[in-house]
Copies of this chain bind each other. A is one copy, B any other.
Amino acid sequence: MLKNIFENVRNKHTLVHSITNYVTVNDCANILLAAGAAPIMADDIREVKEITAICSALAINIGTLNERTIASMIEAGKEAARLGHPVILDPVGAGASALRTDTTFRLIDEVQFSVIRGNISEIKTIARGTGTTRGVDADVSDAVTEENLSEAVRFVKEVSSQKKAVVAVTGAIDIVADAEKAYVIRNGHPMMSKITGTGCMLTVLTAAYCGANPGDILGAAAASVAAMGLCGEIAYKKTMEAQGGTGTFRIQLIDTMSNLDADTFQKGIKVEVM
């Protein structure tokens, strides 16, 4: 089933509207193209409604938010949701500043998101209205491990139920859940945290997967997380073979996504339903 979801992304040319941070925006555009989708970035409030209307999904990332773009995020988010488009939130650094935390709450309040994707710290901030975020990384003490997995799954399902959105918590082990069902995904490689943008790239990728599979948002989100993690694993191997470093890894990540086929995806993903 996830394989069908993957193939839909490969075969449709899903246009994704992203209002995202300027640090990793180029990687976001390139990963979308690599996956078979297409990017459009637009953040002026006078055009976001029109732009989002011609797209199949919207990704909102608050990584370098400011007053002007926050207003555009809300306007675009409301319109995309009204049109029935999947809307994905990446609450980068929620908990690290009042502005980020408040903006995250405001976005969730005003926009019906399809998927909220963050690290465990950001998701805990959303859940509890508190939390500390070390920059944009999760607190290590809050990492999802095999030991606390069932507790973490229960937590993610609760947040999903509370926010009426699929919630994707990514880390060493990823959990993608709605109120009833969770995908636990064990793809990925630690080197993914040694380059900027893997989280942001995943968010726009999730938007593309949801846009191409609007009838199965939970499956689409899980498939995008697994695809990204699998590409990270393969890219790591190729980087080691080439005796490269993090620069090479970033290029290999995009290469791998652009060359990934459905069989490799199907064989490589490590997905468990809980």
| Chain A residues proximal to chain B, CB less than 8 Å | 15, 21-27, 29-30, 33-34, 38-44, 46-47, 50-51, 54-55, 63-68, 93, 96-100, 134-137, 194-197, 244-248, 250-259
Q: Is the CB of A93 within 8 A of B40?
A: yes
Q: A42-B97, A46-B67 are in contact. List 18 more A-B contacts (CB 8 A).
A: A15-B134, A22-B41, A23-B25, A26-B196, A29-B196, A29-B197, A33-B196, A34-B247, A39-B196, A41-B64, A43-B64, A47-B97, A247-B252, A247-B254, A247-B255, A247-B258, A248-B255, A250-B254
Q: List 29 A-B contacts (CB under 8 A).
A: A15-B134, A23-B29, A23-B39, A24-B26, A26-B27, A26-B197, A29-B196, A30-B196, A30-B246, A30-B247, A34-B194, A34-B247, A40-B96, A43-B64, A43-B66, A44-B65, A44-B99, A50-B96, A51-B97, A54-B134, A54-B135, A66-B68, A244-B255, A245-B254, A245-B258, A247-B250, A248-B251, A250-B251, A250-B254
Cα distance A81–B93 when bound, in Å? 23
